[in-house]
Amino acid sequence: MSAAATRRPDTSRARSWWGWGYADAHPDDAECAAMGALLPGSLNRPLPIPRIADLSIAEPAVTPPSSLVHLVTADPQVRAAHAMGKAYRDVIRALRGRPGRIPDLVAYPTGDREVADLLDWAGEHNVAVIPFGGGSSVVGGVEYRGDAHRAVLSLDLTSMNRVLEIDIASRSARIQAGALGPVMEGQLRPHGLTLRHFPQSFEFSTLGGWLATRAGGHYATVHTHIDDFVQSLRVITPAGAGTSWRLPASGAGPSPDRLFLGSEGALGIITAAWMRLQERPRHKASVSVAFSDFHRALGAVRVIAQSDLAPANCRLLDPGEALLSGASRNGSTILVLGFESATSPVDDRLASAVDLARSHGGRCQTHTVDRNAPADLAVSAWRSAFLRMPYLRDGLARMGAIVETFETAATWDKIPALVDDVRTEVSAAALKATGHPATVNCRLTHLYPDGAAPYFTVAAAGRPGDEIEIWDHIKAVADEVLHRHRATITHHHAVGRDHRPGYDLQRPKPFALALHAAKDALDPHRILNPGVLLD
């Protein structure tokens, strides 16, 4: 089948060039000020929203050939909106009028041939190519640093956003990499299918971005990463293109797809993928469970993760995180537990999981088993806070605050001490650096039989003008704690440029040698996303 074309990204609602998501969803000045008042040491009034017109944007250093010129724009508005991702560092740089290097050009290819032609041209002219999907990187994944290239091209794939084929029997679809979450799901819905990959950035990130960064998604257990839903990848590199066969599984050599999943645009451009889909769930049930002790709650989620109950949602919010999201106001640790199935009722599984939680001191809150019933209040509070959080971060950034997140994963034997040490040492570092007490909250976002993925949120008042240096210092302290516990530098945000020091320490030598060799072979002119994963 050939799905309806949606050739251009939806522009009906303006995206913020400097902050998260939609421009009209940002808190206004009064709301920013109200939030800032809760954080001692904040500014009295918000920093103004930055304007592209105030930036001095140089003329492009290169001109594309006539054969490609129709794909490329040098519009300063577009270029500025492609200069950076959406990390706290990026927001501050924009607020301070010093965004990352503005790309010389932005290209919108509409097909593989055009991507290959753009790579050929870039290779010949020493133009760095930064692949760009939704631009929601929070790790410096979509910007250019350094000066080793003559110019910088942001390769925006969002014009390649169609579901090209659907195979109902195998419940899979071939999807172009530039499809934003809702654009893709909108094309799958009429077929009764869904990818069910819903990262926090769902509206503002693309399939290709998820694949290139091994994004964590909807499911808290079992199939937690996009990797597991990949059937075949189409990859275009400067040294040639290829498509892996559509296979449900294979033992023929090392997985070809797994080398490109997580390659963050440094080895090639993923232009399409056959993805494994699912029927929409018909049975859902969710509940929240309160614990008076965070460490006992850790025991509860461990036994749930080691059972075969496979909850779709099993997120543990520490008291600070529960308070911030409105899931609890009394200092409880909250477990948000949800089950779903397209084939069979899930009430028994939910009940079994609740039993396990109770045996570790959990107290069950409202229990919802009907998908149409109003959800558990704590569950729904958490859900809406989850989606609103990045906007609030930007509002606090305008108040001069330092608000950022980082996430990791480790085996269960390390989790309790890891979480405690991050809280203690990062709070101390933030206090020392800012002179103001900081909050460091933690939630577990994904669970495994052998470990879990903690996600930390740091909030502290900054010092005007020094926010980035302070954050970089706090992050270095956090990285040191992660490294000491051998916890990964990232479970699902990717490495980008910001996590490079931690990544380099973590990567085993034989794989480092192989990855460098692969880079040399596939990207001989070193134009692909320079500085990401590799120097």
Subset of 166-185 contacting a second copy (CB under 8 A) = 167, 169-172
Give the shortest CB-260-to-a second copy separation in angstroms: 7
Considering only residues 430 to 489 of the shown chain, the ones binding a second copy according to CB under 8 A are 446, 448-453, 486-489
H/E element, 509: helix 509-522
Residue in 243, 292, 366, 439 binding a second copy, rule: CB under 8 A: 243
Q: Which residues pair with 202 in a beta bridge?
A: none
What long-range pairs does 350-357 form, CB within 8 A, spacing at least 24? 350/285, 350/286, 350/287, 350/311, 352/307, 352/309, 353/304, 353/307, 353/309, 353/311, 353/314, 354/287, 354/289, 356/300, 356/303, 356/304, 356/307, 356/309, 357/289, 357/291, 357/300, 357/304
515 binds a second copy, rule: CB under 8 A: yes
374 binds a second copy, rule: CB under 8 A: no
d(CA 218, CA 394): 24
Give the shortest CB-217-to-a second copy separation in angstroms: 11
Check if the beta carbon of residue 55 is closer than 8 Å to that of residue 41: no
CA angle 244, 247, 249 (to 5 degrees): 115
Q: Which CB, 172 or 187, lies closer to a second copy?
A: 172
Q: Which residues pair with 151 in a beta bridge?
A: 127
Nearest to 167 by CA among 5, 1, 6, 280: 1
Residue in 2, 11, 66, 343 binding a second copy, rule: CB under 8 A: 343
Nearest to 534 by CA among 270, 269, 215, 264: 264
DSSP-assigned letter for residue 67: T
Alpha helices, DSSP H only, in 232-365? 256-260, 294-306, 319-325, 347-358
393 binds a second copy, rule: CB under 8 A: no
Residue in 13, 70, 113, 246 binding a second copy, rule: CB under 8 A: 246
Check if the beta carbon of residue 203 is closer than 8 Å to that of residue 182: yes
Q: Which stretch binds a second copy (CB under 8 A): 190-198, 304-312, 362-370, 377-385?
A: 304-312
Residue in 110, 365, 490, 529 binding a second copy, rule: CB under 8 A: 490
- Site map 39..78 versus a second copy, x via CB under 8 A: ----------------------------------------
Q: Which stretch binds a second copy (CB under 8 A): 119-127, 191-199, 325-333, 515-523?
A: 515-523
d(CA 2, CA 108): 22
How far does Cα 52 stand from its chain's mean position? 25
497 binds a second copy, rule: CB under 8 A: no
Tell me the number of residues near a second copy by CB under 8 A: 100
320 binds a second copy, rule: CB under 8 A: no
d(CA 439, CA 328): 17
Q: 330, exposed or middle or buried, with CB in 10 Å at 0-12, 13-18, 19+?
A: exposed
Collapse the DSSP code of 297 into the 3-class scheme (helix H, G, I; strand E, B; otherwise coil) and give the result: helix
493 binds a second copy, rule: CB under 8 A: yes
d(CA 221, CA 203): 22
Q: Which stretch binds a second copy (CB under 8 A): 54-62, 288-296, 343-351, 369-377?
A: 343-351
Give the shortest CB-310-to-a second copy separation in angstroms: 8
Give the shortest CB-387-to-a second copy separation in angstroms: 21
Q: Which CB, 72 or 447, lies closer to a second copy?
A: 447
Collapse the DSSP code of 270 into the 3-class scheme (helix H, G, I; strand E, B; otherwise coil) and give the result: strand
d(CA 258, CA 99): 33
Q: Which CB, 2 or 509, lies closer to a second copy?
A: 509
d(CA 29, CA 56): 26
Considering only residues 77 to 136 of the shown chain, the ones binding a second copy according to CB under 8 A are none
294 binds a second copy, rule: CB under 8 A: no
Q: Which CB, 237 or 313, lies closer to a second copy?
A: 237
Q: Which CB, 423 or 485, lies closer to a second copy?
A: 485
Residue in 241, 377, 389, 468 binding a second copy, rule: CB under 8 A: 241
Q: Which stretch binds a second copy (CB under 8 A): 85-93, 152-160, 384-392, 510-518?
A: 510-518
315 binds a second copy, rule: CB under 8 A: no
Q: Which stretch binds a second copy (CB under 8 A): 66-74, 109-117, 261-269, 386-394?
A: 261-269
d(CA 260, CA 264): 8
521 binds a second copy, rule: CB under 8 A: yes
d(CA 153, CA 128): 6
Residue in 224, 286, 427, 529 binding a second copy, rule: CB under 8 A: 224
Give the shortest CB-483-to-a second copy separation in angstroms: 10
2 binds a second copy, rule: CB under 8 A: no
263 binds a second copy, rule: CB under 8 A: yes
Q: Which CB, 142 or 452, lies closer to a second copy?
A: 452
235 binds a second copy, rule: CB under 8 A: yes
359 binds a second copy, rule: CB under 8 A: no
Give the shortest CB-235-to-a second copy separation in angstroms: 5
d(CA 213, CA 26): 26
Q: Which CB, 170 or 424, lies closer to a second copy?
A: 170
Residue in 25, 222, 387, 389 binding a second copy, rule: CB under 8 A: 222
517 binds a second copy, rule: CB under 8 A: yes
Give the shortest CB-445-to-a second copy separation in angstroms: 11
What is the dihedral angle through the alpha carbons of 319, 323, 329, 333, rounded to the nearest 10 degrees?
A: -30
Check if the beta carbon of residue 416 is closer than 8 Å to that of residue 485: no
